[in-house]
Amino acid sequence: MPAALALPLLAAVRCEAGLLPGHPFSNAASGTTSAAFLKLPNGARYEALGGAAAAFASGPEALFWNPAGLVGSGQDLSLSYGALLESAYEGAAAYRLSPLGPVSLALGAQYLSQSALTSFDSVGDPTGSFAPYDLALTAGAGMPLGGLRLGAAAKLIHSSLADQSATTAAVDLGLQADHVSDVGDGPLDLGASLSNLGPGLKLGSVASPLPLTIRGGAAWHASPNFNFLLDLLIPVDQDPYVCIGGEARLPTGAGDYLLRMGFNQAHAHGIDGLTGLTLGAGFDWPGLRLDYAWVPYGDLGMTHRVTLAFRL
C-alpha cells in the first residue's frame, strides 16, 4: 500500500471505531488522548539523544522504544528514574533475557505519579487529598528474521485519578534493519515502530484514545565511536515532528565514556525560553552502564533522568 494512503486509511478505520480523536495526527487533537505517560521517554540514553531511537534502541530499554531492539544475547536489567516538572516523577524497569536461542524476551514496568493534590467539592471546599498515578506492565519479544529484527510487546495500562480508575491494553510493533546502505565510510541502519495500538481509557464517563505513535528513523554509524540519529514521529495527537541525536564514545582502558546531544522538535512547541535541546553523558563499564540526561523546558523548568543498567 502506498505510504501516502496508510495514514488516511488508518485514521478512517480508527475514527469509525471511536479509537482516534477528531482531527488525528495534527495539533488540533492536542490534549484529547489518555495515558499521556506512555509518551514519556524511558531510559536516559535515548532521552539525551533527543528521543531518536527507532533504529538505535537496544537492550532492555528497547522494550519502551522499539521492541525489535530487544534482539541480543545475555541478560540485562535496566532501572530508570526521572525528576520531571513541578512535583511529578516517573520510574521504569526492564529485564531482558534470551532463553530461546535467537529469541529475546523482556518484561518491563512504567510508573508516573506526583505529590498529593487537594480535592474539592462542588462548592469549592477542600475534601481531602489524592495522588494520581499511571502504571503500565509490559511483556515483549524480539527475534531476527533474515536481515531484519522484529519485535512485539503487549502492555496492560492502568490510570487512577481521585476516586476514578481505568484499565486497558495495547500492543507495540517494531522492526530494525542493519547496514542497509553506506554513507561515506559508515553503515546506515533503519528502524520503525508502531506504539500504543489499543482501545482507549475511560475514566468515569469520559473515554479518550491512547497516544498512538508511528516512528521511523535512521542511525548512521559515522565511525566506530560516533553515531548520528534521525527520527520522524507521527503522533495521533499532534503534528509530525523530528528528533535528532549524536553520541560520541571515548574508549579508555577501564571502560567507555559517552557524550550525547540531541534536539526534539516537540519540546519546543509553545514554550518560551531554552527548549528542544537535550544533553547527557554516560559511563559504560564491563557489566555496568550509567546514563544521565538533562532536558530544559524553558520557563517551565528542567527535567533530569538517570538510568542504571546491569549485564547479568
Residue 297 located in a structural domain = no
Residue 26 located in a structural domain = yes
Residue 142 located in a structural domain = yes
Question: Percentage of residues in the chain with pLDDT exceeding 70?
Answer: 89
Residue 256 located in a structural domain = no
Compute the mean pLDDT over every residue in the chain, rounded to the nearest whole number: 89
Residue 120 located in a structural domain = no
Rounded Cα distance, 236 and 212, in Å: 5
Residue 43 located in a structural domain = yes
Confidence of residue 16 (pLDDT cuts 50, 70, 90): very low
Contact between 213 and 54 under an 8 Å Cβ cutoff? The reply is no
Residue 196 located in a structural domain = yes
The total number of structural domains in the chain stands at: 1
216-272 pLDDT, tens per residue?
A: 999 999 999 999 999 999 999 999 999 999 999 999 988 999 999 999 999 877 788
| Domain residue limits at 222 | 3-113+131-244
Strands 288-296, 302-311: pairing kind:
antiparallel
Grid coordinates given for 183: 554513507
Residue-level pLDDT at 59: 94
32 or 307, which is more confident: 307
pTM of the model: 0.89
Residue 229 located in a structural domain = yes
